[in-house]
Amino acid sequence: MNIEKAENGTEVTLSLSGRLDTTTAPQLEETVQESLTGTEKLIMDFEKLEYLSSAGLRVLLTAHKALMKSGGQMEIRHVNEVIHEVFEVTGFLDVLNIV
């Protein structure tokens, strides 16, 4: 998995490509941790992400909660069909902010 990070004031965009799974989830977790300070809006762009497993859900949930706590928000964009189904069956469509 590759993560591209772009900052625009208090808005941070992380563009993921490849696979978000057991092997790569720690990498996203680290990048999110580094990106939280002073961030009001965290955008996760999944346009080039092939799929995610529960290891990825765990990181997304932690990130979502951290931003909610600090008064910020997290938004997930460009979700493909496979990822959408994972969010749907796990109820994450209602928990996360997916646009």
Partner 1 sequence: MNELTVEATPENIQVITAFVDEQLEQYDCPMKAQAQIDIAIDELFGNIVRYAYHPEIGSATVQVEVVEEPLAVVITFIDQGKPYDPLAKEDPNVTLSAEEREVGGLGIYIVKKSMNAITYEYKDGRNILKIRKDF
Binding residues for partner 1, rule: CB under 8 A, are: 19, 21-23, 50-55, 57-58, 61, 64-65, 68, 81-82, 85-86, 89-91, 94-96
Q: Where are the alpha helices (DSSP H) in 1-99?
A: 25-35, 54-69, 81-89, 92-95
Query: Nearest distance from residue 80's CB to partner 1, in Å?
Result: 8
Query: Nearest distance from residue 93's CB to partner 1, in Å?
Result: 10
Between 13 and 51, whose beta carbon lies closer to partner 1?
51
Between 39 and 92, whose beta carbon lies closer to partner 1?
92
Query: Nearest distance from residue 38's CB to partner 1, in Å?
Result: 22
Query: Nearest distance from residue 8's CB to partner 1, in Å?
Result: 25
- Spell out the residues 6+ positions from residue 93 whose beta carbon is closer than 8 angstroms to its own: 84, 87
Q: ∠56-58-62 over CA atoms, to 5°?
A: 120
Between 11 and 21, whose beta carbon lies closer to partner 1?
21
Give the dihedral of Cα atoms 45, 49, 53, 57; nearest 10 deg.
Answer: 0
Report CA torsion sign: 18, 22, 23, 24. positive
